[in-house]
Amino acid sequence: MALSPLNVNTPAIDIKTGNPLQSLQLLSEGASKLPPLTGTGSPEGIIESKQGRFYINIAGGVGTTLYVKRLDDIAGDRKTGWTLV
């Protein structure tokens, strides 16, 4: 199944059940085929990647550690589109 673009306003989790929605499942399936990128700090505007890639902030704490590339680019900039999860 192909990985389709996600809108940043698209919910990833069903609020009532807490289960991942199909959009998150597809993103996770695509991302699981690639090793995560690592670094310190946020990747937004710094790390170029394709949609679906995970990034681990090795200096991060609670709520600042895992990012996913939800958008392939913003206005042509492939270093943007990262979302903290």
**Alpha-carbon torsion, ordered 56, 2, 6, 55, to 10 deg:** 10
pLDDT for residue 2: 38
For residue 22, what is the enclosing H or E element? helix 22-31
CA angle 20, 25, 29 (to 5 degrees): 150
Predicted confidence (pLDDT) at residue 8 exceeds the cutoff of 60: no
Distances (CA, A) of 29 to 37, 45, 51, 60: 16, 24, 12, 24
In tens, the pLDDT along 9-61 reads: 556 666 677 666 665 655 555 555 678 999 999 999 999 998 889 999 999 88
In tens, the pLDDT along 12-25 reads: 666 677 666 665 65
